[in-house]
Amino acid sequence: MAHKKIFLDYKRCIGCKACEVACEMTHGEARIKVFEFPDLFTVPFNCRHCEKAPCLNVCPTGALFRDEDGAVAFDPLKCIGCLMCAVACPFGVPKLDEENKIMDKCDLCADRRAEGLLPACVSACPTEALKYGEIDEILWEREGKVVANLKSAAEKGEGEPALLL
Amino acid sequence: MAEKLVPVVCPWCSVGCRFYAVSVNGYIRRIEFDYDHPTIANRGKLCPKGVASYQFINSPKRLKKPLKRVGEKGEGKFEEISWEEAYRIIAEKIKEIKETYGPEAIAFLGSEKITLEENYLVHKLSKAIGTNHLDFPGRYCQYSNSPARTKVFGSAAATNPFEDVAKAELIVIWGHNPAETAPVLFGQYIEKAILDNGAEMIVIDPRSTRGHKYASLHLKPYPGTDLAVALALLNVVITEELYDKEFVQERTAGFEKLKESVKDYTPEWAEKISGVPAEDIRKAARMIANKRTAFLVNEGVNQHVNGFNLALAIADLIAITGNIGKEGVWSGVFPGAQCGFCAAMSGIAPNKLPTGGLVTDEAARAELERLWGFKIPDWVGLDLTNMVREIGKKIRMMYIIGGNIAKSMPNSGWVREQLKKLDFLVVQDIFLTETAKYADIVLPAAAWFEKTGTAISAERRVQRTYKAAEAPGEAKPDWLIIVELAKELGLGEYFKYSHPDEILREINSVIPLFKGATPEYLAEHPEGCFLPCSEPGEGTKILFKKGFKTPDGKAQLQPVEWMEPPEMPDEEYPLWLTNFRLVGHWHTNTMSEESPSLKKRWPEEYVMIHPKDARELGIKTGDLVKVETRRGSILVRAEVTEHVREGVIAMPWHWQANFLTLDEIHPMTKMAELKAVAARVKKVEE
């Protein structure tokens, strides 16, 4: 079964950082970060909860585990702060909580999911640049849109350019 | 510890977002997104300010007791006093000033940050004391666009709900940066129009704003010269006969005069003044004329002395292209604060009555006298700028509620000097603002989540917000302070309110537009109702479908002429200085500076300089520079960026930018020049 994840549609992002603030208000520290580039291009970036998560593979204590929704979640009591996950993660996601000397990372808002709510960053995102769903669902929606746009362009007549999202 | 979900309206911009404050024993623990009501404007979504919106109410800097000044004015030294003493001092002073100089020596400021009910009470109190010197800091917000639209369409209000923005074929964003000032509007409506429905977008701004990446055309006029672009747009639409002939024929008056007035303003002429290529102006005009267009204009249009002419030209353009009174278009005023309309609709202005009439209209006055039961002064009062100019002369006392004019007004250094000359100043606020430091008595008010009341959003949606937290210390809601002060003044019989619901019920009967917006209806319908709301449940979503609110029902096209900005760059001050807003701050950042999550991400001001200008001045990103105008200078860090056009420098206005701007005002609208002044920049060695 495909797991639900947060998908990033950077094209819709306007860099307002609502996701960062929402995450910070929920977890005390923002686990998602919006990167800004000089050409007004902005990318919100969070843990990908990889299908073959290197962080999970290298964790010597089993502090990192995959929960029932497929998120790479985290048990702080088992963490020894060895930083192996931080080294293994190709995106530099797990961060050291300096005070407690243990790691901190996105758990897809486990508490909110338990209540049937969306992760905080997704709930807030005013542009819907962040989407929570299954990969197939998201891709089908995209494909559907491309097809609909091509169809409407064809209906409007020749020479009318199609809108590729 | 039972958690309670209290439905509230967001306290920042005027999109009118709703969410739940999760309240525990009088404290807000967190917020929760409202996905239960899909018909609210924000559909559950929030921007960073919305998400962090309760942080400021927990700030240790909140005012908790009434204060009496002990030091010099502006010094900020106070001692705590009791409410009884504060009321007694204020009431005595009001009586004393009334006896010595007459009631016309007292001026009141309402606020775009307090509720409809509270603004209504401010209005009632000022009239009861006998003064029409009544205004609010929103004078510098929409007072170009609002009178211009009233002149052309008979009403300034937004014509359509936001959902029509998503249905538009073209979106014109003029001097507005909704991606930062109203991210929810941008994401939920503008982006949907562009990315999902294939709409196009034109941006008119000297800066590249966040939303600019979606624009198919970006015109970059020098600040204050947008008027030339607008005139040229009208010229092209008329000379190329692109206007909606049927609409012009049936629903407008004065077309010939308009045609005559713009005949010389060719795109080539506009190019010389504004620096926008003539061909781009032609392209824009053709797009506007041929598509269903939503016009989103804001401070970049409003905050100029020539902003009234510009707003008139835009209103004319909207009328002759027929982009009004139907689905899929949008135009209107867009207040910067959640309650801009609360102040405007309750008639907070030197010449208005809450009923919508004018103070000079005898019949309207008599009607209000009958409703309120006391005499209403019949003279036109002073607007905010003239109030401040007259301090020490006509004006002896000011009562300021929730406004920070010592920082927000143009040429704020001068305003501070003026405030020192007052005989008596009362400031009612939640923090000790720059303005409060000049006060004789400071009254601690309850903040937005600490009271129940009504807010009106930019799309004319009336919504109720409820009390979710207890005010700190002895702070009280603004309505209660006014009621208690009125009692101390011996006006108790006119101010018999013990709950905001009672005030709203009175508003339902006094202001015809609000007749159906009863407390009961709004409690049952969190999505609110659209003004005019004649009966409960009978709101008006689209205005002007058939006629306009003008005497003959037709749009009164106004001839417009070019008017130079009051100050232009010269040899001494060679650059244009303009200002803008950041997504994480709001107004004079009194509240956003006290929100740690926002302060951390948007920590300080800076000045944007184009690489070419920066090279000439030897400035690199991060250098400390001195930005100077004829009013003064401030030190800030430089950001060298191509997102501002050559010859223009830009600063966020939340910090000190208004120290540098110009208090020259338009003779009719009294709008000052806050967006285009001559400046120079110099690198400062550290």
Cβ–Cβ gap A21/B597 under 8 Å: yes
Nearest residue of chain A to residue B640 (CA atoms): A38
Cβ–Cβ gap A16/B48 under 8 Å: yes
Confidence at A29, pLDDT banded by 50, 70, 90: very high
User: Which of A14, A123, A149 is nearest residue B179 as measured by Cβ atoms?
Assistant: A14
Indicate whether B643 and B580 sit together in one domain: yes
Do B398 and B389 form a contact (C-beta atoms < 8 A)? no
A13 pLDDT above the threshold of 70: yes
Would residue B234 count as lying in a domain?
A: yes
Chain B nearest-CA distance from A17, in A, is 6
d(CA B118, CA B403): 14
pTM of the entire predicted model:
0.94
User: Which of B31, B44, B213 is nearest residue A40 as measured by Cβ atoms?
Assistant: B213
What CA–CA distances, in Å, run from B223 to A93, B169, B219, B298, B435?
A: 43, 27, 12, 13, 29
- The residue type found at B144 is S
CB neighbour list of residue B357: distance below 8 Å, 6 or more residues apart: B363, B364, B365, B367, B368
d(CA B338, CA B484): 26
d(CA B430, CA B510): 29
Confidence at A3, pLDDT banded by 50, 70, 90: confident
Radius of gyration in angstroms for the set of CA atoms belonging to chain B, rounded to a whole number: 24
Indicate whether B527 and B482 sit together in one domain: yes
B569 pLDDT above the threshold of 90: yes
Question: What confidence score (pLDDT) does residue B1 get?
Answer: 66
Would residue B39 count as lying in a domain?
A: no
Give which of B128, B612, B162, B95 is closest to B371, Cα–Cα.
Answer: B128
d(CA B465, CA B480): 17
Q: Average the pLDDT over A129-145 and give the result.
A: 90
Indicate whether B622 and B522 sit together in one domain: no
Confidence at A2, pLDDT banded by 50, 70, 90: low
Do B446 and B89 form a contact (C-beta atoms < 8 A)? no
Question: What confidence score (pLDDT) does residue B45 get?
Answer: 97
SS3 B24: strand
Residue B584 in contact with partner chain A when CB distance is under 8 A: yes
Lateral strand order in the sheet of B170-174: B217-219, B200-204, B170-174, B293-297
What confidence tens digit (pLDDT) does each residue in A99-120 have? Answer: 999 999 999 999 999 999 999 9
d(CA A98, CA A86): 14
Confidence at B306, pLDDT banded by 50, 70, 90: very high
Cβ–Cβ gap A16/B179 under 8 Å: yes
Would residue B278 count as lying in a domain?
A: yes
* Boundary-marking domain end, from B297, B331, B365: B331
d(CA B526, CA B16): 11
Would residue B37 count as lying in a domain?
A: no
- The conformational region for residue B594 under phi > 0 = left, psi -120 to 50 = alpha, else beta, is alpha
Residues of A in contact with B584 (CB under 8 A): 17
User: Which of B33, B183, B643 is nearest residue A16 as measured by Cβ atoms?
Assistant: B183
Q: In order of start, what are the domains of chain A with their CATH numbers? A: 5-156 (3.30.70.20)
Confidence at A155, pLDDT banded by 50, 70, 90: confident
Indicate whether B390 and B480 sit together in one domain: yes
Q: Alpha carbon B138 to chain centroid distance?
A: 5
Confidence at B280, pLDDT banded by 50, 70, 90: very high
Indicate whether B523 and B621 sit together in one domain: no
Number of Cβ atoms within 10 Å of the Cβ of B311: 33
What confidence tens digit (pLDDT) does each residue in B227-257 have? Answer: 999 999 999 999 999 999 999 999 999 999 9
Report phi then psi at B295, rounded to 5. Answer: -100, 115
Question: What confidence score (pLDDT) does residue A165 get?
Answer: 56
10 Å CB burial of residue A81 (0-12, 13-18, 19+) is: middle
Residues of B in contact with A125 (CB under 8 A): 45, 187
d(CA B364, CA B129): 19
Indicate whether B242 and B366 sit together in one domain: no
Indicate whether B308 and B345 sit together in one domain: no
Residue ranges of chain A whose CB lies within 8 Å of a chain B CB: 11-12, 14-18, 20-22, 24-26, 38, 40-41, 117-118, 123-129, 145, 149, 163, 165
Confidence at A151, pLDDT banded by 50, 70, 90: confident
Q: Which residues pair with B461 in a beta bridge?
A: B530
Residue B198 in contact with partner chain A when CB distance is under 8 A: yes
What residues 11-50 of chain B have any CB closer than 8 A to a CB of chain A? 30-33, 35, 42, 44-48, 50
Chain A nearest-CA distance from B210, in A, is 6
Cβ–Cβ gap A18/B47 under 8 Å: yes
B521 pLDDT above the threshold of 90: yes
Beta strands in B134-214 (DSSP E): 134-135, 170-174, 200-204
- The residue type found at A133 is G
Residue B180 in contact with partner chain A when CB distance is under 8 A: yes
Question: What confidence score (pLDDT) does residue A32 get?
Answer: 95
Q: Average the pLDDT over B569-585 and give the result.
A: 95
Q: Average the pLDDT over B463-490 and give the result.
A: 96
d(CA B619, CA B73): 38
Question: What confidence score (pLDDT) does residue B198 get?
Answer: 87
Cβ–Cβ gap B33/A149 under 8 Å: no
Would residue B561 count as lying in a domain?
A: no
- CATH classification of the domain holding B156: 3.40.228.10
Average confidence score pLDDT of chain A: 90
B163 pLDDT above the threshold of 70: yes
What CA–CA distances, in Å, run from B658 to B305, B576, B578?
A: 15, 14, 10
Indicate whether B158 and B115 sit together in one domain: no
Helices (H), ranges, B22-82? 48-51
For chain B, helix, strand, coil in percent to 5 are 35, 20, 45
Would residue B583 count as lying in a domain?
A: yes
Give which of B407, B449, B444, B406 is closest to B427, Cα–Cα.
Answer: B444
Cβ–Cβ gap B198/A26 under 8 Å: no
* Boundary-marking domain end, from B308, B331, B354: B331
What confidence tens digit (pLDDT) does each residue in A38-53 have? Answer: 888 899 999 999 999 9
Do B63 and B429 form a contact (C-beta atoms < 8 A)? yes
Domain span at residue B344 reads 67-137+338-539
Confidence at A148, pLDDT banded by 50, 70, 90: confident
Cβ–Cβ gap A18/B48 under 8 Å: yes
Would residue B474 count as lying in a domain?
A: yes
What sign results for the dihedral spanned by CA atoms A77, A78, A84, A87? negative
Q: Average the pLDDT over B55-79 and give the result.
A: 95
Average confidence score pLDDT of chain B: 95
In a mutational test of the A interface, the residue from B32, B47, B209 whose CB has the highest number of chain A CBs within 10 Å is B47
Number of domains in chain B: 3
Instruction: Tell whether omega for the bond before B532 is within 30 degrees of 0, i.e. cis.
Output: yes
Q: Average the pLDDT over B378-392 and give the result.
A: 95
What confidence tens digit (pLDDT) does each residue in B283-295 have? Answer: 999 999 999 999 9
B215 pLDDT above the threshold of 70: yes
Question: What confidence score (pLDDT) does residue A145 get?
Answer: 82
Q: At what angle do helices B116-129 and B500-510 cross, to 10 degrees?
A: 70
Indicate whether B613 and B656 sit together in one domain: yes
* Boundary-marking domain end, from B331, B355, B371: B331
What CA–CA distances, in Å, run from B21 to B10, B469, B472, B591?
A: 10, 9, 17, 18
Nearest residue of chain B to residue A41 (CA atoms): B213
Do B425 and B438 form a contact (C-beta atoms < 8 A)? yes
Strands B672-673 and B677-683, sheet pairing:
unpaired
pLDDT > 70 fraction of chain B, expressed in percent and rounded: 100
- The least confident of A37-51, B594-608, B617-631 is A37-51
Indicate whether B271 and B356 sit together in one domain: no
Cβ–Cβ gap A16/B180 under 8 Å: yes
B550 pLDDT above the threshold of 90: yes
Report angle CA B315, B267, B295 to the nearest 5 degrees.
30
Nearest residue of chain B to residue A19 (CA atoms): B48
- CATH classification of the domain holding B350: 3.40.50.740
Question: What confidence score (pLDDT) does residue A158 get?
Answer: 65
Cβ–Cβ gap A25/B212 under 8 Å: no
Would residue B676 count as lying in a domain?
A: yes
- Pairs of CB atoms within 8 A across A/B: 93
User: Which of A15, A16, A123 is nearest residue B33 as measured by Cβ atoms?
Assistant: A123
d(CA B672, CA B409): 9
Q: Average the pLDDT over B551-556 and give the result.
A: 95
Residue B210 in contact with partner chain A when CB distance is under 8 A: yes
What confidence tens digit (pLDDT) does each residue in B649-678 have? Answer: 999 999 999 999 998 999 999 999 999 999
A161 pLDDT above the threshold of 80: no
Do B204 and B229 form a contact (C-beta atoms < 8 A)? yes
Confidence at A147, pLDDT banded by 50, 70, 90: confident
Q: Higher pLDDT residue, B472 or B197?
A: B472
- CATH classification of the domain holding B588: 2.40.40.20
Q: Higher pLDDT residue, A146 or A88?
A: A88
Confidence at B538, pLDDT banded by 50, 70, 90: confident
Indicate whether B126 and B160 sit together in one domain: no
CB neighbour list of residue B575: distance below 8 Å, 6 or more residues apart: B569, B613, B647, B648, B649, B678, B679, B680, B681
10 Å CB burial of residue A43 (0-12, 13-18, 19+) is: middle
Indicate whether B456 and B491 sit together in one domain: yes
